[in-house]
Amino acid sequence: MSDTESLVQEVKRLYKEHKEWKEGLKLEFKLAEGGLPNKELRRTYSAFANTVGGILILGVTDDGEVKGVPNIDKRHKELVDLLNNSQQVSCNLCSRPGCVEKMELEGKEILAIRVPVASPEHQPVHLSKDEKLCYIRQQEADVQCGETEIARMRRNRDVFLIQTYSQDDHILPHSTLGDIDSVTLRKFRNRMRDTPMGTLWQHESDEGLLRKLRAYRTDRATGETGVTLAGLLMFGKHDSILDLWPSFQLDYFEYENSTDENARWSDRLTNDGSWAGNLYEFTFQVLGRLQLGLKRPFELNKDMTRKGETLADIALREAVANTIIHADYWVDAGIRITKRPEGLKFVNPGTMLVNKDTLFTDSEQISICRNKNLQRMFQALGMGDKAGSGVEKITKGWFDTCLAFPQISELGNPWRVVWFLPSVGMIPRKNLDAIIHRIGAQDFSQLSSFEKLVLVCVPFDSFISHGDIQNMLPMHPADLSRYLSRFVERGYLKTKGRTRGMKYCWSEANARQMSQFHGNTEQMSQQMSHLTREVANNSSTIGAINNKRNEEDLPLFNQMSQLEEKSTQMSHLMSQLPESVLKVKASKKVSQEEMETAICDLCRNRWVTSVEMASILGREKRTLLRILRSMVLHHVLKAKEKQTNHPQQAYQTEEKL
């Protein structure tokens, strides 16, 4: 189900595509001939909210026949009142516009409700005031949650709401330092020696180090002392792990030539008693196997030794750490990593604590970790970055190495999160080479992996819509829109159509020149000045060019002339920037008042376009447009063109009499 479609559009599409018009994991029909089906409706609402979301349609039979909803306005009000009544449901997830819609199918009025999946802070979504009256969705059925399922959602909620809570901080009864494998701990010490944490803690005793890592601690409230769940799983002896946490399971499978899940593996690693069977040993034995056969460019360091770690190595390291750190070890499902010719799969028990659409963006990531102690241990080894940049390292490293984008999904019964890193490039190398040729290797290297992927999806000789690109990428629509707008401003892409109907194609213009102009005005000015001097000093070259010039050359010469003129203007403007503008340019965050003052000073006695303003102030054009239109509305600025979206629109400060 697409985020870019309105609810009405989506329901009509599902109805038109008859194969999709049936009850399932994300779609439910209910009749409402005798009034609102209160009890059944609430169950489905709870089930959708606690699983993956879905659409509930009133006025349709179980087999998909449209009957309509009598007194639809009354039913609509009853529905809104029901969702807002905390005595009926624990929270209203459908309060945003467009979540509840009256619409027509086959000339009959029906009610459609889009129920989003609840964030961990609201789960479990339950009925009445009883948390045990909650449901999950299993295909087309609403199934009441058992205590294990409710406990899982409570744990997630605690992680989300309580900053200090960590699932792996639990002290295991009757555990002692004798449960720690001394060989593993010594290996850990050696590996962390060159990291900042290792330098700080290298002189600690074994017990002191374990306490620093919260692998061993004393509960101040009860006085209980022992090994934590994190300490046991990371450093524990095989027998101790099985005694104290018998459901713990680690598996690595490698297959040489087959995609058949039932095929015989060529290599396997599992906690079978032949080795310590803890997370530390598993991590580095698996990393060694995953890195075998990885393509490595032959590059030398300054001392003429071969470079070791590549972006792909970093991606693999973060993928393994991510799998271990974010696992819910209370769920009865183990960690499983699989290597096949078509790619690598990383599976950990539990559910995601953040919306997966927000992962695939270059905006700042919020890090929510259910195992903070395990995260601390991996950080001591230089892995598992706390700042939320692990996903970027995985996507960038893998995309730049394999020309393939990681994929993420969730599975139920039991709940698991699955990362898949394709080893076969999804993007032809010639397409990537063509893009690099168009925009330049330097500009291409500065793009994020997300930006590169968007550019690769746009054809060179035909137009593609926002929706079509959205269907190809695991990316939020708002982020995709921002990237596309950015590329249009830089001159990489051209458009046709407006608003929802807008489509994109690669521009025939010299995208490299346009990028330099939009991205760095000062540098562009220097380059153009140099070009002007060079041509002026060689009049014979000018004559030769003028004699040779034909109709096909004119667009390029016109473009160069315009760029030169614009560059000269911008160079003059940059040399006279007011202090208020320089302050905004140098700061990431400023107040609304400071931004408006800078814009007024910049536009005083001169016309400045939004593109020029964005370049000078170091801000996104899209962000500035909202401020500019508000300032025009309040007569702080005046617009040069009557048409708001005019391509040559510019702004000047209105001087008060």
Task: Give me the pLDDT at residue 556, please.
Answer: 45
Task: Give me the pLDDT at residue 521, please.
Answer: 40
Q: Does residue 55 contact residue 1 with C-beta atoms inside 8 Å? A: yes
> What confidence category does residue 529 fall into, taking pLDDT thresholds of 50, 70 and 90?
very low
552 within domain boundaries: no
Q: Residues 358-362: contacts with CB within 8 Å, 24+ apart?
A: 358/476, 359/391, 359/408, 359/474, 360/391, 360/395, 360/450, 360/473, 360/474, 360/475, 360/476, 360/479, 361/450, 361/475, 361/476, 361/479, 362/392, 362/448, 362/450, 362/451
One domain, residues 363 and 469: no
433 within domain boundaries: no
Q: What is the DSSP letter of 171?
A: B
434 within domain boundaries: no
457 within domain boundaries: yes
One domain, residues 262 and 410: yes
One domain, residues 371 and 458: no
Task: Give me the pLDDT at residue 507, please.
Answer: 86
Task: Give me the pLDDT at residue 362, please.
Answer: 57
Q: What is the pLDDT of residues 180-236, one digit of tens each?
A: 999 999 999 999 988 888 888 989 999 999 999 999 999 999 999 999 999 999 999
Whether 655 shows a pLDDT value over 80: the answer reads: no
One domain, residues 342 and 484: no
Amino acid at 357: D
One domain, residues 14 and 76: yes
One domain, residues 67 and 126: yes
Between CA 184 and CA 193 the distance in angstroms is: 14
CATH number, position 504? 1.10.10.10
From 58, 65, 11, 66, select the one nearest 30 (Cα to Cα): 58
Between CA 73 and CA 108 the distance in angstroms is: 13
Q: Does residue 254 contact residue 267 with C-beta atoms inside 8 Å? A: yes
Between CA 234 and CA 280 the distance in angstroms is: 5
Task: Give me the pLDDT at residue 530, please.
Answer: 47
pTM: 0.67
One domain, residues 271 and 365: yes
Domain range enclosing 457: 443-509
429 within domain boundaries: no
One domain, residues 46 and 109: yes
φ and ψ at 420, to 5 degrees? Answer: -125, 125
Q: Does residue 547 contact residue 498 with C-beta atoms inside 8 Å? A: no
Radius of gyration of the chain (CA): 30
CATH number, position 92? 3.30.950.30
215 within domain boundaries: yes
Q: What is the mean pLDDT of residues 63-90?
A: 94
Range with lowest mean pLDDT among 99-108, 198-207, 482-491, 510-519: 510-519
One domain, residues 288 and 317: yes
Q: What is the mean pLDDT of residues 563-579?
A: 56
Task: Give me the pLDDT at residue 551, please.
Answer: 42
One domain, residues 111 and 195: no
One domain, residues 603 and 495: no
Between CA 313 and CA 294 the distance in angstroms is: 8
Q: Does residue 59 contact residue 71 with C-beta atoms inside 8 Å? A: no
One domain, residues 486 and 571: no
> Which residue has tokens 């521009």?
507
Domain closes at, from 388, 422, 456: 422
> Can you read off the two tokens belonging to residue 104?
């027509």
Number of domains in the chain: 6
Q: What is the pLDDT of residues 351-380, one digit of tens each?
A: 988 877 666 665 555 678 999 999 999 999
From 374, 359, 357, select the one nearest 116 (Cα to Cα): 357
Q: What is the DSSP letter of 119?
A: P
164 within domain boundaries: no
Q: What is the mean pLDDT of residues 487-497?
A: 89
301 within domain boundaries: no
